[in-house]
Amino acid sequence: MAGSRKIAREFTLQGVYAWLVGGADVTLIIANLKDDEQFKRADEAYFRTLIYGVIKEADMLGARVTPLLDRPLAELSPIERGILLIGAYELLHCPDVPWRVAINEGVELAKKFGGTDGHKYINGVLDKLAQDVRAVEIAHAKKIGARDQDSGVRGQGKPRS
Segment 136-148 shows an average pLDDT of 77
Average pLDDT, the chain: 90
Q: Which class is domain 4-150?
A: mainly alpha
Which residues neighbour 129 within 8 Å (Cβ) at sequence distance 6 or greater? 64, 65, 68, 87, 88, 91
| % residues pLDDT > 90 (the chain) | 78
Q: For residue 24, name the pLDDT band (cuts at 50, 70, 90).
A: confident
pLDDT tops 90 at residue 148: no
Q: Which of 140, 135, 134 is nearest to 91 (CA)?
A: 134
pLDDT over 70 (residue 154): no
Gap between the Cα atoms of 12 and 26, Å rounded: 11
Q: Is the pTM of this model over 0.95?
A: no
pLDDT of residue 2: 65
pLDDT surpasses 50 at 160: no
Q: What are the respective helix, strand and coil percentages of the chain, to the nearest 5? A: 75, 0, 25
Closest CA to 107 of 91, 94, 120: 120
69 DSSP assignment: -
Residue 159 confidence (pLDDT) above 50: no
Domain ranges of the chain: 4-150
Q: What is the pLDDT of residue 10?
A: 98
Percent of the chain surpassing pLDDT 70:
88
Residue 93 burial class via C-beta count within 10 angstroms: exposed 0-12, middle 13-18, buried 19 and up: middle
